[in-house]
Amino acid sequence: MTLRFPVTAEDYRNRARRRLPRFLFDYLDGGATDEQTLRANASDWHHLTLRQRVLVDVDQVDTSSQLLGETCAMPVVLAPIGLAGMMARRGEVQAARSAENAGVPFTLSTVGICSVEEVRTAVNRAIWFQLYMLRDRDRIEALLDKAWAAGCRTLVFTVDLPRPGMRHRDARNGLSSPSVRAKTLKIIHLLSRPRWLWDVALRGGPLNFGNLSDVMPGANDLDAIKTWIDSQFDPTVTWDDIAWLRQRWQGRLMLKGILDADDARQAVDCGSDGIVVSNHGGRQLDGVASGAGKLPDIVTAVHGKTAILVDGGIRSGVDIFRALALGAQGVMIGRPWAWALAAGGETGLNNLLTGLQQELRMAMTLTGVIRINDIGPDQLDQTGEKQ
Ligand code: FNR
């Protein structure tokens, strides 16, 4: 037990590590192969130095902004995280409540534990829905209808996962193997974290994807889920499918996982309302550039033609500010919210989000900008960049 309050994303990460069974913490924390891109995602933001400005009236700093036509208390969206519901009891419900409390959108993953109906009925604010393309297009149509009926008006279609990336931590923990040895390893991990078992007991029922429960009745452990994903996710998806989706979905459409200026232009041509510049949190191809590294190119290519969000390695309010200074309209955060949820449930996540907003406000105050829309390249210190 520790008597200190968690404050930063890293504090919540450390708590989550103590609380979750190892295979689950590693599933959340890890990235593809050598994890170089995972590390670059966070460290590349740090190379951007800010300009301190003084003697500006900063009495009324306002972090609120418009994202995809929605008013947000700050330009932050909780990114879709598959299986987030395992980090705490009815995890996605708790997270959506926190997001509502903080005045920011919550994105529910296709492969969330709680269904879109369950999450939606727990909050007043409309949630965003993330879609992975499945081979079964009837199933996709049914999912879109379900999301629409539950009040979702922003669809985040993820395009950077034709197949799940290779994550060595998961392999070492036996997550991709149904062998008896691998199962034993997971049981040992579970027994090493008894508090987590209470939550499982309280939650009850088999492990399930709420949005897909009718098509995957046998999925009562992570191996079954992995096998199902490998067989159902559709690697044949192309831009033609985006055109189909655009015409099928009446709400706002975001493409998540754009990391190249040419793809960004094509996303605009396909009529997407926004893009998320993302490498899936460094979980797909190790060796690709970070979000911070690619954002300037993409902003140059499509600025003003579509909304641009960025994610990957955003860990503080200062990082949020840096992303806006590079030209993003907002950011998504992934692991930090799931760490906070695992560490302290809804309250933990409330505290994390409050802290991010305070840090963002402080960064605005000390750079002398009072509105989100006024943050831009002017706030970056081109002379003082770190090497
Ligand atoms: C993800 N991400 C993700 N993205 C998505 O579109 N659908 C999903 O189901 C998931 N699942 C998922 C699980 C886990 C454990 C992680 C860590 C990430 C990617 C996520 O939405 C986001 O792009 C990254 O997490 C952003 O990077 P940071 O903030 O985690 O560094």
Query: What tens digit of pLDDT does each residue of 55-73 get?
Result: 999 999 999 999 999 999 9
Instruction: Indicate the pTM of the whole model.
Output: 0.95
Which structure tokens are listed for 62? 């306002």
pLDDT confidence band for 387 (50 / 70 / 90): very low
Atom of ligand 1 nearest to the CA of 79: 21
- Which residues have CB under 8 Å from 53's CB, separation 6+? 366, 367, 368
Separation of alpha carbons 313 and 37, rounded Å? 10
- Domain limits of the chain? 9-168+230-379
Please state the rounded mean pLDDT for residues 261-277.
98
Separation of alpha carbons 378 and 319, rounded Å? 16
Question: Which pLDDT score, from 0 to 100, does residue 232 have?
Answer: 86
Q: Which of 46, 168, 189, 280 is catalytic?
A: 280
13 lines ligand 1 (CB under 6 A): no
Q: Residue 216 pLDDT more than 90?
A: no
| Cβ pair 296, 331 in contact under 8 A | no
Separation of alpha carbons 302 and 308, rounded Å? 8
Question: Which pLDDT score, from 0 to 100, does residue 173 have?
Answer: 86
274-277 β-sheet, strand order:
76-78, 330-333, 307-311, 274-277, 252-258, 154-158, 128-131, 107-108
**Ligand 1 atom 25: the closest Cα is on which residue?**
334
Per DSSP, helices labelled H in 107-216 are: 116-122, 137-149, 168-172, 180-191, 194-203
Question: Which pLDDT score, from 0 to 100, does residue 201 have?
Answer: 54
| Cβ pair 111, 84 in contact under 8 A | no
Question: Which pLDDT score, from 0 to 100, does residue 186 have?
Answer: 73
* pLDDT tens-place string over residues 291-313: 999 999 999 999 999 999 999 99
**343 vs 204, which has greater pLDDT?**
343
Residue found under tokens 């996962």:
161
Please state the rounded mean pLDDT for residues 170-174.
87
Look at the chain and count its residues.
387
Question: Which pLDDT score, from 0 to 100, does residue 112 have?
Answer: 92
91 lines ligand 1 (CB under 6 A): no
Q: Residue 199 pLDDT more than 80?
A: no
| Domain boundaries 9-168+230-379, corresponding CATH code | 3.20.20.70
Please state the rounded mean pLDDT for residues 169-184.
79
Give the sign of the dihedral formed by CA 208, CA 213, CA 216, CA 217: positive
Give the sign of the dihedral formed by CA 233, CA 80, CA 118, CA 349: positive
**Ligand 1 atom 12: the closest Cα is on which residue?**
81
Separation of alpha carbons 166 and 162, rounded Å? 12
Whether 195 has a binding-site annotation, put simply, is no
Separation of alpha carbons 66 and 305, rounded Å? 16
CA angle in degrees (0–180, nearest 5) for 273-279-281: 110
- How far is it between the farthest Cα atoms of the chain? 66
| Cβ pair 167, 32 in contact under 8 A | yes
**Ligand 1 atom 18: the closest Cα is on which residue?**
81
**191 vs 90, which has greater pLDDT?**
90
Which structure tokens are listed for 259? 């990391």
**38 vs 173, which has greater pLDDT?**
38
In this structure, the number of other CB atoms found within 10 A of the CB of residue 169 comes to: 18
**Ligand 1 atom 7: the closest Cα is on which residue?**
80
Q: Residue 289 pLDDT more than 90?
A: yes
**133 vs 198, which has greater pLDDT?**
133
Phi, psi for residue 380 in degrees, rounded to 5? -95, 135
> Catalytic site residue 168?
no
Nearest CA to 62 out of 335, 369, 308 is that of: 369
pLDDT confidence band for 142 (50 / 70 / 90): very high
Atom of ligand 1 nearest to the CA of 27: 15
Ligand 1 pocket: which of 29, 81, 279 to mutate (most atoms within 8 A of CB): 81
Q: What is the mean pLDDT of the chain?
A: 91
Which structure tokens are listed for 341? 């949820």
Separation of alpha carbons 45 and 325, rounded Å? 11
312 lines ligand 1 (CB under 6 A): yes
- Indicate if ipTM > 0.90: yes
Q: Residue 15 pLDDT more than 70?
A: yes
Percent of the chain at pLDDT exceeding 70: 91
Question: Which pLDDT score, from 0 to 100, does residue 3 have?
Answer: 66
Separation of alpha carbons 145 and 122, rounded Å? 19
Please state the rounded mean pLDDT for residues 211-222.
65
Task: Tell how far the Cα of 382 is from the centroid of ligand 1, in angstroms.
Answer: 31
Count Cα atoms within 13 angstroms, Cβ side, for 193. Answer: 22
